[in-house]
Amino acid sequence: MSIALAPLAIFAASQIGTPGPANMALLATGARFGFRAALPFVAGVALGKQLIIWPIGFGLMELADRVPLLFEVLKYAAAAYITWLAWKVANLRLSPGQGDTRAPGFLAGLVVHPLNPKAWAMIVGSFTAFVGPGTDPFIATATIAAVLFSCQALMHPIWTLAGDRIAATLAGTAAEPYLMWTLAGLTVASVLFVLFGGGI
C-alpha cells in the first residue's frame, strides 16, 4: 500500500505547467480581460479538476473498461468543444470594447477540465503510475487531488498573468491577431497531441 509522492508531484508539475487546453484558455482569458477579472475563472478551472479526480478514484475507470465506446465518444466530443473554444479565441481582440465585455466566471471555469482530454489523461496516469496495489481508494484519491490542486493553485495564475502581460504589450498592435491565432493553434495542437499521441 503506497503512493510515490515525489514522482507524482514532479509528474503533476510537468503536466500542469506545460501548454494544454486549460492553460491556453487561462492565457487567453488573462489577455482579453486582465488578471484580476479572470480570477473567478481561474478558481473554477482549478476546482473543476476535482470533478474528475474523485469519480475516477472511486470506480469510473471500471465503467470505462465496461463501456469503452462511451468514453471514446466523450473524448472526441470534448476535443470538438475545445476546438470550438479555440476558434473563439482566434477571433477575439484584446482592445477594449470588442467582443465580450465581461470575463467568464467561476462556473465557466468549472467545466474546462471535465471537457479537457489532457486532464483526463493526466488524472488516469496519476492513478495508474503512482499508486501501489492495495492502496486505500480514499487515501489515493485525496493525495492525488491535493497534489494536483496545489500545482494548479501555483501555476494557473501564472499562465493567466502571462496573458495579462502579453496583452498589455500587444493590444491594438499589428501583432495582436497573430497572437490570438497562435494561442488558438496551440490549443488545437495540444488537443490533437492528447488524442493521437498518447491520449486517454
**Residue 176 exposure: Cα atoms within 13 Å on the Cβ side:** 18
**84-138 per-position pLDDT tens digit:** 767 776 776 665 445 556 888 999 999 888 888 778 878 888 887 888 877 888 8
pLDDT of residue 1: 53
Given this model, what pLDDT does residue 152 score? 96
Radius of gyration of the chain (CA): 17
| Residues β-bridged to residue 3 | 131
Measure Cα distances from 164 to 33, 80, 181, 191 in Å: 8, 27, 17, 23
Q: Is 131 left (phi over 0), alpha (psi -120 to 50) or beta?
A: beta
pLDDT of 97 reads: 45
Nearest-angstrom CA–CA distance, 200 and 57? 15
With cell 499508486, the residue in question is 131
The residue extents of the domains of the chain are 5-196
Given a contact cutoff of 8 angstroms between Cβ atoms, the answer to whether 109 and 48 are in contact is yes
pLDDT of residue 99: 54
Condensed to tens digits (0 to 9), the pLDDT of residues 9-22 reads: 988 888 888 777 78
Q: pLDDT by residue (tens digit) across 23-82?
A: 888 988 888 888 999 999 999 999 999 999 998 888 765 665 677 776 667 667 766 766
